[in-house]
Structures are given as structure tokens and as C-alpha cells.
Amino acid sequence: MTIKEASEKTGISIDNLRYYERIGLIPEVPRTESGIRDYDEMAIHWVEFAMRFKKAGVSLEAIREYIQLAIQGLSTKEARRDILLETKAGLEKKMRDIQETMEVINFKIDNYDQKCEPITKELIASWRAARKK
């Protein structure tokens, strides 16, 4: 498929697809005899893989390293596994942090009227008193 079709399928701009290939974020895309990119299902897989990791907050360098190792083949299997394990640990930490934040927000929402409203009223009253001075 053409780069335009790949862009439509993945939702990634043509310029970004070219850029990601240029910097090694995705493997080199197969080309026709005339040099036009010819995205196959494997190329689309790599684009989707890289974008999923990017969306999860994985650094471009880590994604690029994983891709370059994958291109080298089976001899890099353990190194790639290590990257995946590090990525997983980082995502699990982010999920815990987000869950803790959600718990605080939910607590504040659940207790908003009893806890926040009296404080807000008190602050407004003190601000008004201070402005009158």
C-alpha cells in the first residue's frame, strides 16, 4: 500500500511516517522498483507497535533501540525482552500513580460539599473583609 494509504490506515501523517522511518523508529519500509514506499502488513505492524509504545510514554530512544534489536534477529531476543520488562515496570508504576491520584480525586468529589464548601465560604468571607480594610 502507498504511504497515503498507510497514513489513512494508521492515522499518522505522511510526514510523520517518513520521519519515523528516517530516525529508525520504524524499520525501513519496503520499496517498489521505482523507489516508492510499499507498506505491507509487517510495516503497518511496526508502525502500530511503535505508536502504541509512544502513546504509553516510552521514550523514542527505547522504541528505536527495540526496533533496531528486532531487525538484528534472534540473537537480540534477551535484550528485547529486557526492554519489554522495563517498559512493563514503568507502565505499572504509572498505573499505580494514576490510581492513587484517582482515589484522591474521588475522595474529594465524594466529600466536596461537606469539606470544601465551608472552607470556600470562610475564604471568601476573609477576602471580602480584607478588601474592606
Q: What is the pLDDT of residues 13-47, one digit of tens each?
A: 999 999 999 998 899 999 999 999 999 999 999 99
Per DSSP, 35 falls in state S
Looking at the domain that runs over 3-72, which CATH code has it been given? 1.10.1660.10
Whole-number pLDDT of residue 124: 83
- Joined grid coordinates for residue 54: 509512544
Distance CA 114, CA 112 (A): 6
Neighbours of 75 (CB within 10 A): 8
Q: Tell me phi and psi for residue 14, to 5 degrees.
A: -60, -45
Q: What is the pLDDT of residues 87-133, one digit of tens each?
A: 999 999 999 999 999 999 998 888 876 766 667 777 888 888 888 87
Whole-number pLDDT of residue 102: 95
Whole-number pLDDT of residue 79: 95
Distance CA 133, CA 32 (A): 79
pLDDT interval class at 50 (50, 70, 90) = very high
In this prediction, residues 44-61 reach a mean pLDDT of: 92
Considering the entire predicted model, what is its pTM?
Answer: 0.69
What are the extents of the domains in the chain? 3-72
Whole-number pLDDT of residue 122: 78
